[in-house]
Structure 1
Amino acid sequence: MTPEHAALIDGEPLPTARVNAFLEAPFRGAGNGATSHNEPEPARRQTEPPSVARQRRRWATQVIVTDELARRACADRGLRIPEEASPASVLAVAETDVADLGSIVAAALAHSPAARTLLAALEAEQRVPEAAVRDYYDRNRDRFLTPDALRRGVDPFGETAAPQDLQPYEDVRDGIARELRQAAGRRAFFGWLDQARHGVIYTHGHEHPGDPSHPDHEHRH
């Protein structure tokens, strides 16, 4: 018999129906529980081994738990969560996001307006010192070669590199600061999520996919 709740969050039940709805939603992406195959979803589900189905449910539970935790965090912060145009659908997850964030967090951000809202708020709170921006520019000169220098094969770290071979700092400064702020916001999001999960107790069959206490565990995110 399927349990009525997938987890308890600070003692409050998270309905299994929310996990089921996520599993049944149209989804395009990649990672531990997502899929990018062209075969229709129901056909794939019918042919997957039981261990894969169990891991998919555990993975999906993590996504929904992250959504619920983000909803509560937004409420605590007084953040308005935008209305979903189609709550039953799940946005595509880019391969690069899976690589950078892990499939659980990437899928949670694609699925959950609350998670995206919280991430945006955390990113906006980050302050990037000017010295850090300048240091990034100086240490990553290869990223800022001019098109002409790239065509000529200029070594940005070599003695022959001239100042005119690099895009001026003033022209790229804002873009660097934006990237560093985004990276700091993501680190803050991961830190928040690690803390927020401490109050979660999972029902059997809904544990974290990497939990070594069950035989199908995989330490992937």
Structure 2
Amino acid sequence: MTPEYAALINGEPLPRERVDAFLQAPLGGAGPHRAAAPPRGASSHDEPAPARRRNEPPSVARQRRRWATQVVVTDELARRACADRGLKVPEEVSPVSVLAVAETAVADLGSIVAAALAHSPAARVLLAALECEQTVPETAVRDYYDRNQDRFLTPDALRRGADPFGEAAAPQDVLPYEDVREGIARELRKAAGRQAFFGWLDQARGGVTYSHGHEHPGDPSHPDHEHRH
């Protein structure tokens, strides 16, 4: 008999209905945005969702469900983490949000985490809290500036094609450290917050047991596995 739950989180069942509801959400994005699509072999994201899913091979449909389970589990784990931390999570108008995830976000975060952040207000609140907790040393900010001078060329230097690492580069070709320091620190804090989120998620998943058909897409114990995040 198939369990009525998709996973057990620290012994508490996560209803399959939450995964089913997520799977019914529109997957397409517009313009430069796309759905954070899971398995390889799925149809074009520009097709309507029912057409895409009718055309999916059974193995792709199984992987889609496993992928969706990971997104929903991440949402539930984030809800619990926010509750533990006393963080207020905005109420959702609907339990399922339309996914429109930038391709760059998928590349940087992996499709599961990118989709979870698009779908889950709790995951976004937790990520923001983790980012605020990060401390970036001044030495790290200065080191980034010194090693990435090409990112801080002045508009005039860019027009002239100046080489910030060449002998002919003039000091005035590079924006002063004081002018860009806050932006660098902000980006480094954001990156550190993401790493903290990944670390939290890896640890939180340790208390999750999946039912049959809801395993991680990369779990080698099932025949359709593929290593994706």
Give the aligned partner of residue 31 of structure 2: none
State which drifts further: 82-91 or 48-57: 82-91
TM-score, structure 2 normalization: 0.93
1:63 is aligned with what amino acid?
V
CA distance, structure 2, for counterparts of residue 188 and residue 59 of structure 1 = 22
| Contact map agreement 1:79 1:117 (CA 8 A) in 2 | yes
CA distance, structure 1, for counterparts of residue 77 and residue 224 of structure 2 = 25
Give the secondary structure class of the aligned counterpart of 1:167: coil
Residue 30, structure 1, aligned to residue 3, structure 2: no
Give the aligned partner of residue 6 of structure 2: 6
2:192 is aligned with what amino acid?
A
CA distance, structure 2, for counterparts of residue 16 and residue 122 of structure 1 = 29
What does the per-residue CA deviation read over 1:82-130, in whole Å, with 9 as the maximum and x for residues that have no partner? Answer: 1123333223111000000000000000000000000000000000011
CA distance, structure 2, for counterparts of residue 68 and residue 51 of structure 1 = 26
Cα pair distance change 1:127/1:192, threshold 3 Å: same
Give the aligned partner of residue 215 of structure 1: 223
Instruction: State the Cα RMSD in Å.
Output: 1.4
2:125 is aligned with what amino acid?
T
CA distance, structure 2, for counterparts of residue 173 and residue 15 of structure 1 = 47
Cα pair distance change 1:113/1:213, threshold 3 Å: same
Gaps of 5+ in 2: 29-34
Residue 189, structure 1, aligned to residue 180, structure 2: no
CA distance, structure 1, for counterparts of residue 216 and residue 191 of structure 2 = 25
Cα pair distance change 1:116/1:148, threshold 3 Å: same
Residue 172, structure 1, aligned to residue 180, structure 2: yes
TM-score, structure 1 normalization: 0.96
Count of paired positions:
221
Give the aligned partner of residue 54 of structure 1: 62
* Cα displacement (A) at 1:36: 6.2
| Contact map agreement 2:36 2:99 (CA 8 A) in 1 | no
CA distance, structure 1, for counterparts of residue 176 and residue 27 of structure 2 = 42
State which drifts further: 69-78 or 147-156: 147-156
Residue 117, structure 1, aligned to residue 128, structure 2: no
2:106 is aligned with what amino acid?
V
| Contact map agreement 1:30 1:98 (CA 8 A) in 2 | yes
* Cα displacement (A) at 1:35: 7.6
Give the aligned partner of residue 32 of structure 2: none
| Contact map agreement 1:30 1:36 (CA 8 A) in 2 | no
| Contact map agreement 2:43 2:55 (CA 8 A) in 1 | no
* Cα displacement (A) at 1:147: 1.1
